[in-house]
């Protein structure tokens, strides 16, 4: 599959310099980190959450887990994981479980974990289980410009 069409168009439209890297098929972003020899703290993963009737993309390091209580405190609202069917309908051009963390490309509100800040490089799924996008950390921060920031994940 390579890079999802929506993501590729977003990167092009916004003049984002990136490198596409292929790797053997993996079932999770943490496995991708291991297979690619990239620290999980430098791979951003997107997790789709449901907030009332709306959706939210939580972006955190592959090596971390979400703490829902922290998100509730940040948003002053309860959230839950979106169903597989809901995720599939939002990311039609992506394989299940390979959601790119670029919510703006898909019209989603984004909440980014502060632990991703300060990395020189960031990697993320391109929409399949065998391609990573590599961007400079500063550029990733610019792509996350309108995102809400907070601390809602911890290594685990």
User: What confidence tens digit (pLDDT) does each residue in 86-135 have?
Assistant: 999 999 999 988 999 999 999 999 999 999 998 999 999 999 999 999 99
DSSP classification of residue 104: G
Give residue-wise pLDDT tens across range 72-88: 999 999 999 999 999 99
pLDDT of residue 30: 85
Q: Residue 150: which domain range?
A: 5-155
pLDDT of residue 4: 96
User: Which residues is 112 bridged to in the sheet?
Assistant: 59, 149
Average pLDDT over residues 67-76: 95
3-state secondary structure (DSSP) of residue 33: helix
- CATH number for 74: 3.90.960.10
Distance CA 100, CA 82 (A): 15
Task: Give how many domains the chain has, as a whole number.
Answer: 1
Least confident stretch, 25-29, 38-42, 95-99: 25-29
Specify whether the CB–CB gap between 40 and 63 falls below 8 A: yes
Q: What is the pTM of this model?
A: 0.95
């Amino acid at each position: 599959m390579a890079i999802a069409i929506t993501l590729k168009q977003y990167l092009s439209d916004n003049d984002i310099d990136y490198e596409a890297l292929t790797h053997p098929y993996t079932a999770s972003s943490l496995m991708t980190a291991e297979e690619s020899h990239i620290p999980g703290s430098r791979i951003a993963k997107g997790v789709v959450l449901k907030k009332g009737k709306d959706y939210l993309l939580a972006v955190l390091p592959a090596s971390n887990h979400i703490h829902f209580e922290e998100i509730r405190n940040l948003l002053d609202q309860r959230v839950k994981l979106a169903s597989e069917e809901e995720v599939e309908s939002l990311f039609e051009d992506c394989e299940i479980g390979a959601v790119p963390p670029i919510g703006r490309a898909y019209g989603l509100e984004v909440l980014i974990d502060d632990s991703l800040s300060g990395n020189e490089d960031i990697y993320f799924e391109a929409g399949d289980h065998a391609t990573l996008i590599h961007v400079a950390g500063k550029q990733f921060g610019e792509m996350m410009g309108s995102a809400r920031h907070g601390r809602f994940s911890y290594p685990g």
